[in-house]
Amino acid sequence: MDNGASSYRRFLDGDESGMVEIIRDYKDGLMLYLNGYVKNIHIAEELMEDTFVKLVVKRPRYSAKFSFKTWLYTIGRNAAIDYLRKRSRSAEVTMDESLPDEEDLERSYFKEEQKIALHRAMGRLKEEYRQALYLSYFEELSNAEIAEVMRKSRRQIENLIYRGKQSLKSELEKEGFVYEEL
């Protein structure tokens, strides 16, 4: 049982600190993942909160077939899909980018430009490519876990990640970046 699963089990047994630990450990990653679906950080935050509310109110049973994180992200994904079904797609919202507070401004500026270019390039990818790459590289889920979250086969996920990396490389090259190990 991973940490999230043990915290959830404690919560189900009456220990409220278990849910506090789950929220602390998973809120940021889940919100960013959901933002990939809804393209609005504020709505993603609401969906993230709704996901945790579902855990508290409905108390669904967790089976250890997949990791707790995979199970939680699947619940969040379903909430995002429900939201998108109820609403028409809204206009893109630009995220406020803040500059890092470092002594070496030139280096921090360059890093920030790279992040912005990556964010833009990821935004131009097919939605399935973007989701698979995000879950693989930012959330560090295995291909089996990604397959469960995205409801695809392992082979489909391998193909999505491969094609997504190729598309991302192409998009970054359009922006003038050359990366050898994408």
**Which segments of the chain belong to CATH 1.10.10.10?**
105-174
Average confidence (pLDDT) over 63-89: 85
Determine the topology of domain 105-174 in CATH.
Arc Repressor Mutant, subunit A (1.10.10)
Neighbour count for residue 69 (Cβ, 10 Å): 22
Tens digits of per-residue pLDDT, 12-47?
899 899 999 999 999 999 998 999 888 889 999 999
Determine the topology of domain 3-86 in CATH.
Rna Polymerase Sigma Factor; Chain: A (1.10.1740)
Neighbour count for residue 142 (Cβ, 10 Å): 15
**Which segments of the chain belong to CATH 1.10.1740.10?**
3-86
What's the predicted TM-score (pTM) here? 0.58
Label each residue of the chain as H, E or C.
CCHHHHHHHHHHCCCCHHHHHHHHHHHHHHHHHHHHHHCCHHHHHHHHHHHHHHHHHHCCCCCCCCCHHHHHHHHHHHHHHHHHHHCCCCCCCCCCCCCCCCCCHHHHHHHHHHHHHHHHHHHCCCHHHHHHHHHHHHCCCCHHHHHHHHCCCHHHHHHHHHHHHHHHHHHHHHCCCCCCCC
Tens digits of per-residue pLDDT, 118-177?
777 888 888 899 889 888 888 888 999 999 989 999 999 999 999 999 988 888 888 777
pLDDT of residue 94: 39
